[in-house]
Amino acid sequence: MNDNPLLNSTDLPQYSRIRPEHIQPAVKQVLAETRKGIEGLLPPGEEVSYDSFIVPLNEIEERMNRVWAPVEHLNAVVNSEALRKEYNACIPLLIAWNNERGQHKGLYAAVNAIATSDDFPTLPVARRRAIELELRDFKLAGVHLDEATQERLKTLRQELGLLSTKFTENVLDSTNKWELIITAPEDLDGVPESIVTASRERAIKDGHGDACWKVTLEEPSYVPMITYCRNRDIRRELYEAYVTRATKDEFDNTEIIENILRLRKEEARLLGYRNYAELSLARKMVHSVNDVKAFLYDLVERSRAEAQREFDELSRFAASRLGLEKLEAWDVNFAAEELKRHRFHFSDEDVKPYFPENRVLQGLFEIVHRLYGLDVHESRADYWHPDVRFFEIRDADGTIRGRFFLDLYARPNKRSGAWMSEVLHRMRRNGEMQIPAANLVCNFAPPSGGKPALFTHREVVTLFHEFGHGLHHLLTKIDELHVSGMNGVPWDAIELPSQFFENWAWSPESLSLFARHYETNAPMPIDLLRQLVDSRYFNSALAMVRQLEFGLMDFLLHADYDPDGDQTAQDIIDKVREETTVIPVPPFNRFQNSFLHIFGGGYAAGYYSYKWAEVLAADAFERFREEGIFNPNTGQAFLTEILEKGGSEEPMILFERFRGRKPSIEPLLRQCGILEPVATGNSGLTPT
C-alpha cells in the first residue's frame, strides 16, 4: 500500500492521515496518470463506443476526484497555513488540466464520433444525455477556437481560479481575525444564557480569562448577538464588522471583485457571448438573460409593497415598544425578534430546548423512512475532527444506497455557512458499483454548559436544506458519472431538492415526530408548536426582497456591468438596492466583499437559482399538501422522478412528470404569505 493516503485505493478518504505534504505529490502523480490513461484510450484509426471509451474514461477521471475532493474539503473545514499553501500550489495545476481536457481535440473527436454514430439513438437516455452535455462543455471550453484564443482562455481561467481562492481566503481570514472582548456583564443584557456561557468558555479557551466574554463573527456567535443584545452600540459594532469583512488592509476584496468581473466578461466574449450572464445560462434551465430579469423583477413587484408594509409595522413597534425612533440595519434583527415574541409569544430561545441534536437527527431520519422507505444508521469511518459523525442510508433489504459525514459545529479555521460536498459519485468502477458518499457541513453552536447541542429552528431548517442536497446526490440510481446524482443537473435546478425538503421542518405533522425537550423528552406544547408554524410567514416579504436583492446584484453585475464603462460595480449594487430593499442600507455596507456564493463559489450569475428552484420546490410540496405529507406513494414518485434520476434528463421534464403539469408560481406566493393575485403572461417561469 502506498504511504500517501490520497493515493491508497481505500473505500473512503483517510481524512485523519492526510497531511499537507501528501497533497502535491498525489495531485501531480494522478494528473500524470490521467493524461497517460486518456492517451491510451485514443489509439489512432480505431472506432470508439460508449463502453470502450466513455466507461474507462469515467474511471480514469473519478481517480482525480478521489484525490482532490478530500483535499478541497479539508481546506474548508480544518484550514491551516500549511494546508492552504499546498492547496493553492495545486490550483494552477488543476485549472491547467481542466483547460487542457476541455480543449483536447482527440477527446472531443471521440465523443463527437459516438454522438454521430448509428448506435447513438439506441443508447439509454442517461448515456445520450451524458454525451450531449460533454459536447456542450467542450464548446464552452473553447475546443473550436483558434490556438491563440485558446491560450488566452487558459490564462484567464488560471487567473480567475487564483482570484476566487484568494477571495475566499480573505473572507475566512478577516472573519477569524475579528473579535470583541466584553468585560461588562450589562453589555450582554438580553443575550440568552446559552450564548453567554459559550462566549465565556470561548474567552477562557483563548486565554482571555474567566472575567470576560469573547464575541466573534462566526454565525453561532454573531447571529444571536445581533438578534438579542440590547446594547445598541454593540449591535452596530457587530453589524459594521460583519458587512465590512474583507474590505480592509491585506484582506480587501474590492480590487479582486473588479478583476473577477473583468476577466469573466472577457472569457464570455472570447466564447461568443455578450456577457458572463449569457455564458452562465448556457448550463442552466433558463437560457435567456431577459427571462431571468423578468422573473426576478416580477417577484420584486409582487413582494415589495408587502415588504414595505412589514418594515413600517416593525418600525412602529420599535418606536413605541423599544424606544428606537429610527430603525437602522443593525436594529432589524433585534426588533424583529421582539415583535415576533410579542405577536407569537415565543422566541427562538424558547424552542431551542425542543431541538437537541440527536432528537432532530432521529426525526430527520424518520421522515426519510416514511417518505422513501429508507433507513439511516450511524456507523464508523475515518474523520477529520472528533465532532464529525458518519451515517449510512440503506434500502429496506439492507442494501447501502449512500453514506455521509456530518460536521455540525462552528470552529476556528472552518469556512462559514452550510453546504453539501460530494465525496464519491455513484458509478461502475472496476466492474463494481461505487457507493456515493457526501459531506454535510453546518456551523451550529456546539454543546456547552453541560447541555447537548440545542438548535434554533432556523438551524433545523438549514440542516434539512443541506440534507435535501445530500439526498439528491446519494439516492441517485444513475450509473453514468456525468449525470449521476447532481452531476449534469442545471445549476438553477440544484436547489429544488434542498428547498423542497425544508418543508418538513415546518410541518406540524413532521415537527411532532422530534420536537421534544432535551431534559424531559416532553413534546413541544401544542400552542408553542402552532405558534412556531404560524411564524413561518412572519416578515416573509422582507426575506423575499433580501434574496431578490442578492439575486439581482449578482445577475446585473454579470449581465450589465461594463468594467471599462462609466458605471462602477457599486453603482450597480446601489441601483439594485434602490429597486428592491425597504430596509435602509448604510453607506459603509460592502456585503459584496464577502459574497462567497458568486465570487468564491459556483453561483456566479446564478444566485437567482434559489428563487427559481423555490418556485419548483413550493409547487412540488403542494402535491404533498394535497395527497398527505407522508403519503408513501407521493414520496416514491418524488424519489423516482426527481432524486433518483440525477442529471439524466432535463429537470423541467422530470418536474412535469412528477407534478403532471408545468410549475406555477402561486404555491410559492402562498407559502410566503404574499397574497397578491398572480399576473397573467410569461414572467420567465417556464421559458422556451
Residue 105, class by beta-carbon neighbours within 10 Å (0-12 exposed, 13-18 middle, 19+ buried)? exposed
Q: Whose CA is closest to 238, among 199, 193, 194?
A: 199
DSSP 123-177: S-HHHHHHHHHHHHHHHHHTTTS-HHHHHHHHHHHHHHHHHHHHHHHHHHHHHHH
DSSP state at residue 676: P
Helix and strand tally (H, E) in the chain? Answer: 26, 9
Q: Which entry of 169, 219, 267, 466 is annotated as an active-site residue?
A: 466
Question: By three-state DSSP, how is residue 444 classified?
Answer: strand
Query: Rounded to an integer, what distance in angstroms lies between the CA atom of residue 671 and that of residue 674?
Result: 8
* Amino acid at residue number 301: E
Query: Rounded to an integer, what distance in angstroms lies between the CA atom of residue 532 and that of residue 178?
Result: 34
Query: Rounded to an integer, what distance in angstroms lies between the CA atom of residue 317 and that of residue 336?
Result: 9
Question: By three-state DSSP, how is residue 234 classified?
Answer: helix
- Is residue 626 part of the annotated active site? The answer reads no
H-run or E-run covering 442: strand 437-444
C-alpha cell at 22: 501528501
Query: Rounded to an integer, what distance in angstroms lies between the CA atom of residue 591 and that of residue 569?
Result: 13
Q: Whose CA is closest to 557, among 538, 542, 570?
A: 570
Which stretches of 361-436 are assigned E, i.e. beta strand?
375-379, 389-394, 400-409, 419-424, 427-429, 432-434
Q: Which residues are catalytic?
A: 466
